[in-house]
Amino acid sequence: MSVLFTLLMLASIICLIIGLASPSTFSKLFKKNATRGKLSLIFAGAVILFIILIGVTAPKTNTTDNKTTTEAIKTLTPEEQAKKDADDAASKKVADEAKAKQEAESKAQAEAKAEAEKLLDASVQKVFSAPAGIQVINNENNTWYGCKFVLNDKYTKQYRDDQGIASGESEALTIPYALFLKSDGTRFDYATTAPTSFLISCKVNGNTRNNVYTF
């Protein structure tokens, strides 16, 4: 209803402006008695009347109901509050476990990387008793597998992946010079060539680690 009164009020304002500008426009409606004063009184009064009617018929906002509804939403029963607290605690536990798992994985990866980059700890020496060669002692607590030994950067001796070198002096490995071969099959000749460098590359706990020793 207030919309209708609003439209009538706007129409009255327009008629008031037209009546003040050209009273003769309404001469037929008011039987030639249309004067500026009479038109102003009629249309101004109509405007005031419609303003009052708009205020009376305008929909009212029930602030009390809105306030009550808001309070009802915010206020939880003890059971609901307990459930909410339990859900929040469960969500926090899940988040904490996920964070702890991620931190543990990151730590494990960092430790694995550090272990992979760690140099092999071995005692390496030349052995002159027959057969002459290179003696290797594993000084670590883990067994080495699939070791590759390179003498003077050219002569290689490769062990299978299932062949291990245990730790300790009692498990010392002596590799005769004659077992070191170049890519073309030439054997290392200790009588004509002196050992100068010795590379060890082995698999330890799934990681390939290395170290180089010089004589």
The pair of three-digit structure tokens given for residue 86, joined into one six-digit string: 């339990």
Whether residue 208 sits in one domain with residue 134: yes
**What is the C-alpha separation between 139 and 118, in angstroms, rounded?**
13
Given a contact cutoff of 8 angstroms between Cβ atoms, the answer to whether 186 and 156 are in contact is no
Please tell me the predicted confidence (pLDDT) of residue 65.
57
Please tell me the distance from the alpha carbon of residue 136 to that of residue 134, in angstroms, as a whole number: 7
Same domain, 162 and 182: yes
> Locate tokens 């039987």: which residue?
31
Kindly state whether residues 161 and 202 are assigned to the same domain. Answer: yes
- The pLDDT value recorded for residue 197 is 97
In this prediction, residue 70 carries a pLDDT of 58
Name the domain count of the chain.
Answer: 3
Domain, as residue range, for 10: 2-57
What pLDDT is recorded for position 66?
59
Torsional class of 189: left (φ above 0), alpha (ψ -120 to 50), beta (otherwise): beta
Contact in structure between 26 and 19 (CB atoms under 8 Å): yes
Tell me the whole-structure pTM to 2 decimals.
0.49
Q: Do 136 and 209 belong together in one domain? A: yes
Q: Are residues 95 and 129 in the same domain?
A: no
pLDDT in single tens digits along all 215 residues of the chain: 778 878 888 888 888 888 788 877 877 777 667 788 887 888 888 889 888 888 888 777 655 555 655 555 568 888 888 898 999 999 999 999 999 999 999 988 887 777 777 899 999 999 998 789 999 999 999 999 999 999 999 999 999 999 999 999 999 999 999 999 999 999 999 999 999 999 999 999 888 999 999 99
The CATH number linked to 199 is: 2.60.40
Q: Which tokens go with 187?
A: 């054997």
Q: For residue 67, what pLDDT is reported?
A: 61
Residue 130 shares a structural domain with residue 209: yes
